[in-house]
């Protein structure tokens, strides 16, 4: 089994705010991340796929094609967007790094060829905070 990773990048605005809670409870839970006028992050997205190497190409999968799939199905929906407002697949969800990593998996996995499996979505929200999601 070979694991292959592509690093992509996007930036987006969000807030951590549960609309079912009072402003005070949100402030107590999320602090400055609950600021109603949003804040932004430069996200780094590591997409790792796994499978067998094709003898003819020497590739598990062409990383340029992987990059294009990520661009079409993920980055174009997230980059320079407000995660709470603009992104259909985040609607009704808390816009945490955990939920965003899971949602990115759900967006991307169905578009990979059958012989290639998604292994991990690793999403850095800041240089010091990241989530890894393995699909379960």
Ligand X SMILES: Nc1nc2c(c(=O)[nH]1)N=C([C@H](O)[C@H](O)COP(=O)(O)OP(=O)(O)OP(=O)(O)O)CN2
Residues at the interface with ligand X (CB under 6 A): 16, 33, 39, 96-98, 125-126, 128-129
Catalytic residue list contains 33: yes
Catalytic residue among 68, 80, 111, 115: 80
- State the SS3 of 45-98: EEEEEEECCCCCCCCCCCHHHHHHHHHHHHHHHHCCEECCCCCHHHCCCCCCHH
Closest contact distance (angstroms) between CB of 31 and ligand X is 8
Closest contact distance (angstroms) between CB of 88 and ligand X is 20
For ligand X, the closer CB: 17 or 61: 17
For ligand X, the closer CB: 6 or 93: 93
Catalytic residue list contains 80: yes
Q: How many residues in total does the chain contain?
A: 136
Query: Three-state DSSP class for 8?
Result: strand
Closest contact distance (angstroms) between CB of 103 and ligand X is 12
For ligand X, the closer CB: 66 or 125: 125
According to DSSP, residue 135 is labeled -
Rg (CA), the chain: 17
Catalytic residues: 33, 80, 125
């Amino acid at each position: 089994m070979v694991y292959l990773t592509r690093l992509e990048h996007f930036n987006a605005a969000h807030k951590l705010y549960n609309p079912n809670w009072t402003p005070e409870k949100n402030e107590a839970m999320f602090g400055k991340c609950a600021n109603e006028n949003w804040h932004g992050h430069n996200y780094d997205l590591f997409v790792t796929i796994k499978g067998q190497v094709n003898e003819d190409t020497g590739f598990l999968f062409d990383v340029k094609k992987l990059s294009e799939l990520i661009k079409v199905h993920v980055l174009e929906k997230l980059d320079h967007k407000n995660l709470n407002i603009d992104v259909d697949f985040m609607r009704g969800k808390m816009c945490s790094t955990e939920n965003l990593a899971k949602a990115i998996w759900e967006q991307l996995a169905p578009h990979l060829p059958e012989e290639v499996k998604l292994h991990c979505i690793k999403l850095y929200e800041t240089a010091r905070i990241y989530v890894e999601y393995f699909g379960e």
